[in-house]
Structure formats: structure tokens, C-alpha cells
Amino acid sequence: MINKKTNAENGTAHNHFGSDTQMTGEIKGKGNYRIDGILEGNLRTSGKVVIGKSGKLFGAVLCAEADISGVFQGNMKVSGMLSLRATAYIEGELEISQLVVEPGANLNAVCKMKKMNVAPPVEEGEKSKTTQ
């Protein structure tokens, strides 16, 4: 397996902030991030962000996917799916493509959905124009 790239080389590194970790600052990367501690700052990645039950993130997030069981307060842009688990508490502004919310999740945010593959609704008077 001489030519096989490691997870870190191909951008799928897994980064974990344990429950005893508290960090302030800005993080930029290509891999996946799991936060079980506290992060006050910004996180930008082309991978997935997971906030565990004990995790708290206060700041801005830009990522491909997110799965939240803990606390998030701030602005989040997710190019793919955002999953909110039953124990999630979210406050802020969200810009997402897809959203899954389990019963019990607390969502107090302004939410904009982008990149939807669904055509916008057509008004009654416009139907005849589109079907001609």
C-alpha cells in the first residue's frame, strides 16, 4: 500500500475536541471536526462538523455538513445537510441546503434554504405560459 494516501493527505482528517477542551480562535481545515468541548470562534472546513451532546460552539461555521446534538449560537452556512438531534439547542442565523430536525430539538434561528432542486410554485395565471 505504498501509493495509498492517508486520511490527512486526502483531506478527510478527523479532528476531535474532547469534553475537557476549551478553545478560542479561528479554525480552518479540510477534514471533519467533532466538538465535545467548547469552541468560541470560527470554524471553516470542507468537511463535516459534529457538535456532541456536551459540545458548545459560539461563533461562525462554514462547512459541507453538520450534525448537532449540543449547543450552537452564531451564524452557520452548510452547503449540504444540517441534522439537529433531539438534544440540540440552536440560536442564530442558518443558511442550509437540507434540514433534518428530530423532535425535542430547540431551534431559534433565522433559516434560509439554498440550492433546492424543487421548482418554485407557479401562480395560476402563469400555468398556461409554462405549459405552452
* pLDDT at residue number 6: 41
Q: In this predicted model, what pLDDT tens digit does every residue of 29-46 receive, in sequence order? A: 989 999 999 999 999 999
For the stretch 53-95, pLDDT in tens is 999 999 999 999 999 999 999 999 999 999 999 999 999 999 9
Coil/strand/helix, residue 97: coil
**Are 49 and 27 contacting, i.e. CB atoms less than 8 angstroms apart?**
no
Give the model confidence (pLDDT) of 102-119 as tens digits. Answer: 999 999 999 999 865 555
107, 92 contact by CB (below 8 A): no
Q: What's the pTM value of the predicted model, to 2 decimals?
A: 0.79
Flag whether pLDDT at 12 surpasses 90.
no
**Is pLDDT at 18 greater than 70 in this prediction?**
yes
First to last CA, the chain: 59
